[in-house]
Structure 1
Amino acid sequence: MAAYHGRGAIEMAQQYQPDLILLDIMMPEMDGMEVLKRLRNNPKTRETPIIAVTGMDRNREYFLSAGFDDWLGKPIELEKLEEVIRRHI
């Protein structure tokens, strides 16, 4: 399932409580950093692994220190995506 903006991502995460969230950083209405903060502050989603998906020129430590569990750079390589998902589920 997919949400196309930050508010929708928060609503879907609360409703469906997924095993893992792939969260884009650049989204309309609310960016991924704000969505991350709101999900981490919600008891229903606080422990859900959240993976940053971005084309931003940042390193892994930047996203880990922000509260993400991991990150994937764009374009996403299928092998890397599978590795990250296995590591967190």
Structure 2
Amino acid sequence: MAQQHQPDLILLDIMMPELDGMEVLKRLRKNPQTREIPVIAVTGMNENREYFLSAGFDDWLGKPIEFEELEEVIRRHI
């Protein structure tokens, strides 16, 4: 879907059925058509920002998402 629609930014949940967010991120980064799209981790996991940045995400948001924080992250990346 990302390859077909070329979004400006992807909010990617980490905990999903079948494929988790880490695997989706790997696939996005491997594909030349999607590797430059900013990908933001969305998670309820108790990890810090550096964990997700080192995994290849451009940023992260903890759940529950605060609107002001979401707006700030989006502005930072597009």
- 1:66 alignment partner in structure 2: 55
Gaps of 5+ in 2: none
SS in 1 for 2:40: strand
What is the Cα deviation at residue 42 of structure 1? 0.3
CA distance in 1, matches of 2:34, 2:67: 26
What is the TM-score when the length of structure 1 is the normalising length? 0.87
Give the equivalent residue in structure 1 for 2:40: 51
> For the residues of structure 1 that align with 2:33 and 2:66, how far apart are their CA atoms?
30
Alignment partners' CA distance in 2, 1:42 and 1:19: 16
| Per-residue deviation, 1:40 | 0.2
TM-score under structure 2 normalisation? 0.99
Q: Considering Cα pairs closer than 8 Å and 6+ residues apart, tell me whether 1 or 2 has the greater RCO.
A: 2
- Which of the residues 32, 40, 43 maps onto 2:29? 40
In the alignment, structure 1 residue 16 sits paired with structure 2 residue 5: yes
